[in-house]
Amino acid sequence: MKRAFQIKYIYIIFIILFICNASAFEADFFKKLSPSLDISHQSIRAITQDKDGFIWLGTQEGLSRFDGYQLNNYHHDPDNINSLSHNIISALLTDRFGRIWIGTRGGGLNLYQAHNKSFMRFTSQHELKAITNNNINVLFEDSQGAIWIGTNKGLNKVSSVGKNQTLKVTNIAKEKLNDISIRAIIEVNKQVWIGTEDSGIYVYSLAGEFISQLVHINDNLQSIPSNIIRSLLQDYEGNIWIGSIEGGLSKYDPIAGRYQHFKSDEKNADSLATNIVTTLFEDSVHRLWVGTDKGLHLYNKKQNNFQRFTHANTNINSISSDIILNVFEDKGKMIWIGTFSGVNRWDPNVATFKQFNLESKRGLNNNMVNIFSQLDNDKILIGTYGGGVNQLSLKTLKISQPDYNAALKDKRIMSILVNGDEVWLGTRASGVLRINAKNNAVINYRHNPDDPTSLSANSITDMKVDDAGSVWVATYHGGLNKFDGKGSFTHFRQKNGLSSDHVFQILPEKDHIIWLATDGGGLNKLNTKTNKVTVYNHKLDVANSLSSDVAWTLYFDHDENLWIGTEASGLNIWSKQDRTNKIENFQHLNINHGLKTSTVYGINQDNNHDIWLSTNKGISRYSLKEASFMHFDTSHGLLDLEFNLQSLLKTNDNKLLFGSAKGFNLLDPDKLLSNQHAPDVRLTDIYSLNTKLKFNTPLSALKKVEFDYTDKLIAFEYTGLDFASPESNRFKYRLQGFDKQWIDAGKLRRATYTNLGPGKYQLQIIAANNFDVWGDPDVSLDIIIHPAPWVTWWAYLIYASVLALLLLMYSKYMTRKLITEQHQRLALKKEVFEKTQEFKNQNKELIKLNQKLESSAITDKLTGVKSRRYLDIYIEQTSRLMTQIHNNISPTQHALLPRLYLMLIKLNVEKKDDDRILINVAEFLGYKRSEDDLVVRWSDDIFAIIGSEKDNNVSLLAQQIAGEQKNIALDKCILSVGYSFFPFNRERPHELNWDQTSVIAEIALNYANSKTWLGIYQPIEYPFNFNQLISAPDLTHIKNLVTVLHD
């Protein structure tokens, strides 16, 4: 016991020293959870995945379930016996039945009950389910389905017995293990190997019978590495790996009976970084992961060494902590690493995009990568913006700087041309640097305004050699230059026929042809033999012309078709056949064809004939065979989404390099992996009118859900369980029986339906991952909408019975009448005919009178404006329409809808019976109102204007009307204005009707004294009391209830 204490003490010291002196060797791309997620604790002690695909994280302070977007946390509640027994989670296990077992430090064992989200406890105090100790270290399921529980004092086993599969707890090996801490358990050929804290390894049968004990023997290389065992693993070849404290890692070959030991070697960077091994894991492709207290290690079987992954403070993509607690692989082949400081994900698909930047410590001296050029089969020259030239070795993937780079200082390299033994560098503002690679001699060609044969400008964009061996130099301000081989340049500019002096790229073709991509001048074709220039521009009236005059990049594919990338106008393809036949016919590819963006910076083609594009939204691959795009972003390992113009190269051995402002990516298209795991779709919540529904079974097991006719709004929330890039997962859903086709929800994880009719439906949901791989419908939920009682089958039966009875009674009644009516019919026939003719004549007269009456009723005879009768008809129709609109939108959209305003204008004149003033006021109001507004004579001395609220048009109109009107011959008529709005309350549009709004407008008019105006807008507080408003004694009290605006 004393020795165990000393070892634990040393281990703690190691951890403290490591935290204080951590240094990164090399970090790969590890994804982290968003900092906004409320994880229980950053120390991730255990990881598992349940049968539905959710990831469970055991932490220092509780249990968390992760669905790719959010966390559900579970904690110990002292007042709830069905909660977690303790917050410190030490082990997690999902068994073959999908049950989740949770081991804790101090609270024993828990079994999660998914149907009610509770926990069944197994503790040392439990009478029927007692375990030997409440500190759980390890959980293991054997080949017979029994759960082995390693504790701080002893070993236990939980088995299912009897027809009811009752759980039975057994104490294994009381005589040997009761006082021993169990740290690791595996099964090897029907035998259970048990790693202990200080007693080596015990071997038992599945029945719990002791077989042997393995212990460390000093100076004996054919014994286990240490008696302090932390992890055990049997790999796919049958070898047994033993991770220990102090003794490092050992591999035991059970056939040969031999051990091979791996220990830390400070002089060997490919050895273990430490002899403290915390966890072992073998993934589905047989990679062996070794967790230590100094980082994560990946075993290289061929070289029999280890690749290290350690935390780097300067690299957010490095592993979050070097103290590795566990490793796990989910169904989508994602590797999860629990550390002392957070959980990490390693995506094998991301590893195909190798990353080179300052943080990767491969030797790059500047992250702004502008251009690539291949020097030989191994070396790639890299032009940077301020770091000169870097040189990449394709064999070692290391970067160095050539000797001549010292002379470049802070030159911004925009173009590189390898021409024999010379390297030509085009710079941003320093002209061309011609370097002899053998002796590093540098010649600088610059623009000299006094020398017409000097370089035309110092801003170099591209350099190429044509089929005759001549060097051509493109500039941004000075057009094109041809080098004569002696130090002089011939200029080709707009005055020589080019469409623009801003040339982006040169693309030589055979037969003395050079193609130029220009800024604003479209595509230029230069015949170097005749110096003739042909210009191809965008033409608005020609559908197949060049899509834009800003041509940024050019490329000839393997079939000699010309590709042109543009700014904001997509791709253009000019086929060799059309080009040879001089037919100006450009095929266009843009967003409508699947391109993610219309801005293209670079184009190239791999040996598989796929076209690769660098853009401002990542990298895209276009399959000529399938005529489809695949897009790559930072979730696939790209350093950035914005790439640099023409910073794209295909090497001689078919590798692709993409340059950005954050470094560059290297890809081997032949080894490109793709995530073929379509997300498993699972329901997370079901709502009825924003109320979460509760069920007695887990949502994943739910086959049917029923709703009542009163459930007018139902919603389903779901998630896609592929963790490579959850934020990139996309969804489609449909309600069979209602939707005719799939609804593309994009990244939205909620499906909402309103006012579904009675019947049976089926909700189906599918999802796609970040590689656009779609799965089958994982969710197929039957939905039943029950009809209202008055439209059920038994209600219709009652209706039919009542109707039949009424028909019977009616039939009898009609039979009795038939005889009487038969006698009267002949007598009445003549009379009816005569009366009918009389009524027809009278009806014609009545129609004419009604038309005159209706016309006079809706128009005020004196002023010619509409009357109150017309207003009643208008308001009835308008308010009904606005009510329908408000009923069919969500509450959050009410604020976006316009309101009607009711403005009352009162005449304050001495002669109230002066008809001339009324007519003039009506004409004045008709002039001031908007074209769509309505003027109504409200009463003898009050007019009204009704219209739609637009910005602050109502208050402006009130200001224009209110006061004394001297310029319209109204005899000093004074107009007072009061107004309000319908609906009065946007948040509760049905709270007040039109008549109540009219009363509020009249209140506003009453408080609008002479030469003033006043508007009442909306309630200040809720709920709003209309009666309190109309009974307010003064304007001060009114302002406490509603928003008021006045002169």
Secondary structure (DSSP) of 241-283: EEEESSS-EEEEETTTTEEEEE-B-TT-TTSBS-S-EEEEEE-
Question: Same domain, yes or no, for 695 and 768?
Answer: yes
What per-residue confidence (pLDDT) applies to 811? 87
**Bridge partner residues of 606 (DSSP):** none
In a domain, 822, yes or no: no
Structural tokens at position 1018: 């909306």
Q: How far is CA 456 from the centre of its chain?
A: 48
In a domain, 850, yes or no: no
* Residue 918 near residue 996, CB atoms below 8 Å: no
- 619/596 Cα distance (integer angstroms): 9
In a domain, 444, yes or no: no
In a domain, 741, yes or no: yes
| Residue that is last in its domain, among 768, 791, 814 | 791
Reduce the DSSP state of residue 547 to 3 states and report it: coil
Question: Same domain, yes or no, for 891 and 1027?
Answer: yes
Structural tokens at position 227: 């008696």
Beta-carbon contacts of residue 600 (< 8 Å; ≥ 6 apart):
552, 553, 565, 566, 570, 571, 613, 614, 615
52: domain CATH number? 2.130.10.10
* Residue 891 near residue 939, CB atoms below 8 Å: no
Helix (H) or strand (E) run with residue 664 in it:
strand 663-667
Question: Same domain, yes or no, for 731 and 780?
Answer: yes
In a domain, 476, yes or no: no
Q: For residue 188, how many C-alpha atoms fall within 13 Å in the half-sphere facing its CB?
A: 25
* Residue 743 near residue 734, CB atoms below 8 Å: yes
* Residue 980 near residue 1016, CB atoms below 8 Å: yes
Beta-carbon contacts of residue 831 (< 8 Å; ≥ 6 apart):
none
What per-residue confidence (pLDDT) applies to 852? 56
* Residue 707 near residue 740, CB atoms below 8 Å: no
Question: Same domain, yes or no, for 17 and 69?
Answer: no
Reduce the DSSP state of residue 251 to 3 states and report it: strand
DSSP symbol at 613: E
Secondary structure (DSSP) of 847-859: HHHHHHHHHHHHB
What per-residue confidence (pLDDT) applies to 913? 59
Reduce the DSSP state of residue 503 to 3 states and report it: strand
Secondary structure (DSSP) of 628-651: EEEEE-GGGT-S-S-EEEEEEEE-
Question: Same domain, yes or no, for 22 and 58?
Answer: no
What per-residue confidence (pLDDT) applies to 144? 93
| Residue that is last in its domain, among 759, 791, 823 | 791
| Residue that is last in its domain, among 749, 769, 791 | 791
Structural tokens at position 327: 């490793």
Beta-carbon contacts of residue 170 (< 8 Å; ≥ 6 apart):
156, 157, 158, 159, 208
Query: How many other CB atoms are found less than 10 A from the CB of residue 368?
Result: 19
Radius of gyration over every alpha carbon of the chain, rounded to an integer in angstroms: 42
- 235/1005 Cα distance (integer angstroms): 89
- 793/787 Cα distance (integer angstroms): 9
Amino acid letter at 269? A
**Bridge partner residues of 151 (DSSP):** 136
Angle at 493 between CA 490 and CA 498, to 5 degrees: 125
Question: Same domain, yes or no, for 158 and 54?
Answer: yes
- 173/181 Cα distance (integer angstroms): 13
* Residue 381 near residue 405, CB atoms below 8 Å: no
**Bridge partner residues of 619 (DSSP):** 614, 632
- 222/252 Cα distance (integer angstroms): 9
DSSP symbol at 790: G
Beta-carbon contacts of residue 259 (< 8 Å; ≥ 6 apart):
221, 222, 223, 224, 225, 250, 251, 252, 253
Question: Same domain, yes or no, for 234 and 274?
Answer: yes
Question: Same domain, yes or no, for 79 and 10?
Answer: no
What per-residue confidence (pLDDT) applies to 10? 38
Secondary structure (DSSP) of 399-457: EE--GGGGGTTT-BEEEEEEETTEEEEEESSS-EEEEETTT--EEEE---TT-TTS-S-
Runs of H (alpha helix) within 481-627: 576-580
- 342/395 Cα distance (integer angstroms): 35
Q: How far is CA 405 from the centre of its chain?
A: 43
**Bridge partner residues of 119 (DSSP):** 112
If one counts the domains in the chain, the total is 4
Secondary structure (DSSP) of 161-214: ETTTTEEEEEEE-HHHHTTS-EEEEEEETTEEEEEESSS-EEEEETTS-EEEEE
Query: How many other CB atoms are found less than 10 A from the CB of residue 626?
Result: 9
In a domain, 269, yes or no: yes
In a domain, 284, yes or no: yes
What per-residue confidence (pLDDT) applies to 442? 94
In a domain, 658, yes or no: no
- 1010/343 Cα distance (integer angstroms): 73
Structural tokens at position 511: 């037969």
Question: Same domain, yes or no, for 129 and 249?
Answer: no
DSSP symbol at 774: B
714: domain CATH number? 2.60.40.10
Query: How many other CB atoms are found less than 10 A from the CB of residue 965?
Result: 18
φ and ψ at residue 90, rounded to 5 degrees:
-110, -20
Beta-carbon contacts of residue 908 (< 8 Å; ≥ 6 apart):
973, 974, 975, 976, 1010
What per-residue confidence (pLDDT) applies to 27? 39
User: How confident is the chain (1047 residues) per 10-residue block, as mean pLDDT?
Assistant: 40 36 48 87 94 95 94 95 96 96 96 94 85 96 95 92 76 87 96 95 93 93 94 96 95 94 94 96 96 96 93 87 96 95 89 85 93 96 96 95 90 96 96 94 96 97 96 97 96 96 97 97 97 96 96 97 96 97 96 95 96 96 93 89 97 97 94 86 93 92 93 95 92 95 95 94 94 89 92 86 91 83 72 64 58 63 82 76 71 69 84 74 84 86 87 84 61 82 82 87 83 85 85 88 87
φ and ψ at residue 404, rounded to 5 degrees:
-70, -10
Question: Same domain, yes or no, for 949 and 1034?
Answer: yes
Question: Same domain, yes or no, for 6 and 143?
Answer: no
Taking each helix axis from N to C end, the angle separating 868-887 and 793-858, rounded to the nearest 10 degrees, works out to 150
**Bridge partner residues of 474 (DSSP):** 462, 480
Residue range(s) defining the domain that contains residue 698: 680-791
φ and ψ at residue 399, rounded to 5 degrees:
-115, 135
977: domain CATH number? 3.30.70.270
What per-residue confidence (pLDDT) applies to 1? 40
- 716/818 Cα distance (integer angstroms): 62
Burial class (CB in 10 A: 0-12, 13-18, 19+), 612: buried
* Residue 735 near residue 761, CB atoms below 8 Å: yes
- By 3-state DSSP, what share of the chain in percent is helix, strand and coil, each rounded to 5? 20, 40, 40
Question: Same domain, yes or no, for 877 and 1007?
Answer: yes
Amino acid letter at 893? Q
Amino acid letter at 214? L
What burial letters (b/e) apply to 130-145, b meaning 16+ CB within 10 Å?
ebbbbbbbbbbbbeee
φ and ψ at residue 995, rounded to 5 degrees:
-65, -40
Query: How many other CB atoms are found less than 10 A from the CB of residue 321?
Result: 25
